[in-house]
Amino acid sequence: MIQKYVNKGFIQQLDGTYTVLIHPVNGYLKPEQIETVYKLANQYGKVKLTVTEAIMIFGIKPENFDQVAEELARVDLPLADIGPVVRNVKVCSSQYCKHVIHDVTPLAAEINQRLAGMTTPKKFKISMNGCPNSCVEAQLNDLGIIAVKDGYWLYIGGKGGRQPQLATRLDVVIKEEYLVETVERIVKGYIQVAQNERLGEVINRMGLLPFLKVALAWNSEGIKTCIGARYCKNGVGDVHALAENITSNGNVQGNITISGCGNACAVNPEARCNVIVLKDRLWINSDSGMDVLKADQLSEYLKEKAILK
């Protein structure tokens, strides 16, 4: 395989030739793109549509790779990402479907631009569905997204293949403004803990909640949180927003934990400061004892205690 095409587009076939796998953005084709596919099909061989909304053109030899790639690039037809990478996002036709709840094509394009082609321990498949009919099978992908009235359901850990596994739906609706960030967190969390296994196998080994804590909790810059109200049905406070506010106001001296409800999932007795978010106030246990205050007072409080500088 030519190095620049590793994990990009060209797949060897039984007869020794290659097929080129093309993944049009969001599955849509323009007339000039169809003409180019037709031209290449006439030149090299058969064409096949795949279940992942991609196009395969058969009969290509390595000496033809550059010419084929250049022809496709002229009409903005990208080579599909293949191998152990984040695959191109599969998306339904939510722009036109009468059942649509949200048009997911802009979000799918953004996720594809940010993550497709990222190296992963095993292939990582994402599907986006504009309604619960789930035309592109949220439940059979590593990460499936379904639009519902108030946001999005997330299905995690599905796969097909010889040992298929249905994904597990998170028991919370993700707001649109957090969706792309959440997808990126899950992919990077998977990369962090996977041992040559698909996401579903990671979850089978670790358990769903331990994986979510790795992927979705804030754990950097001296702050560690639970997964918080964005991702937990018990959460009453946005621990991520609190962490972002703290880090934007200075540097943490020591360790802080933030728990998004009275379950206090993130509390660590050795931390300099443990914050528990309740409905209308914060409980704070620091070196000087227990205090109660409002969320917008937290950064100043931490500065007064020399925990934030």
- The answer on 197 and 94 residing in a single domain is yes
Cα separation values, 159 from 123, 145, 167, 197, Å: 10, 14, 7, 11
Q: Phi and psi dihedrals of 115, rounded to 5? A: -120, -25
Q: Answer yes or no: is 309 within a domain.
A: no
Q: What angle do CA 98, 105, 167 make, to 5 degrees?
A: 90
Structural domain boundaries enclosing 160: 90-214
- The answer on 175 and 107 residing in a single domain is yes
Q: How many domains is the chain built from?
A: 3
Determine contact, residues 18/6, Cβ cutoff 8 Å: no
CA separation for the pair 47, 36 (Å, rounded): 12
- The answer on 58 and 23 residing in a single domain is yes
Q: Answer yes or no: is 85 within a domain.
A: no
Domain final residue pick, 214, 242, 268: 214
What six digits make up the tokens of 2? 């030519």
- The answer on 296 and 210 residing in a single domain is no
Q: Answer yes or no: is 84 within a domain.
A: no
Q: How confident is the model at residue 156 (pLDDT cuts 50, 70, 90)?
A: very high
Tens digits of residue pLDDT in 140-154? 999 999 999 999 999
Domain final residue pick, 46, 74, 102: 74
Tens digits of residue pLDDT in 211-256? 999 999 999 999 999 999 999 999 998 999 999 999 999 999 999 9
Q: Answer yes or no: is 79 within a domain.
A: no
Find all residues with CB under 8 Å of 29, minimum gap 6, and list them. Answer: 37
Q: Answer yes or no: is 82 within a domain.
A: no
Cα separation values, 298 from 32, 230, 248, 281, Å: 57, 20, 12, 10
Q: How confident is the model at residue 1 (pLDDT cuts 50, 70, 90)?
A: low
Q: What global pTM score does this model have?
A: 0.90
* Percent of the chain predicted with pLDDT > 70: 100
- The answer on 210 and 109 residing in a single domain is yes
Tens digits of residue pLDDT in 52-83? 889 999 999 999 999 999 999 999 998 999 99
Q: Answer yes or no: is 256 within a domain.
A: yes
Residue 150: how many CB atoms within 10 A of its CB? 10
What is the DSSP track for the chain?
--GGGTTBSEEE-TTS-EEEEE--GGG---HHHHHHHHHHHHHH--EEE-TTS-EEEEEE-GGGHHHHHHHHHHTT-PBPB-SSBBPPPEE--TTT-TT-SS--HHHHHHHHHHHTT-B-SS-B-EEEESSTT-TT-GGGSSEEEEEETTEEEEEES-B-SSS-BPPEEPSSPBPHHHHHHHHHHHHHHHHHH-SSS-HHHHHHHH-HHHHHHHHHS-EETTEEE---TTT-TT--S-HHHHHHHHHHT--B-S-EEEESSTT-TT--TTSSEEEEE-SS-EEEEETTEEEEE-GGGHHHHHHHTTSB-
- The answer on 171 and 55 residing in a single domain is no
- The answer on 201 and 226 residing in a single domain is no
* Mean pLDDT of all residues belonging to the chain: 94
Look at residue 213 in the predicted model and tell me its pLDDT.
Answer: 95
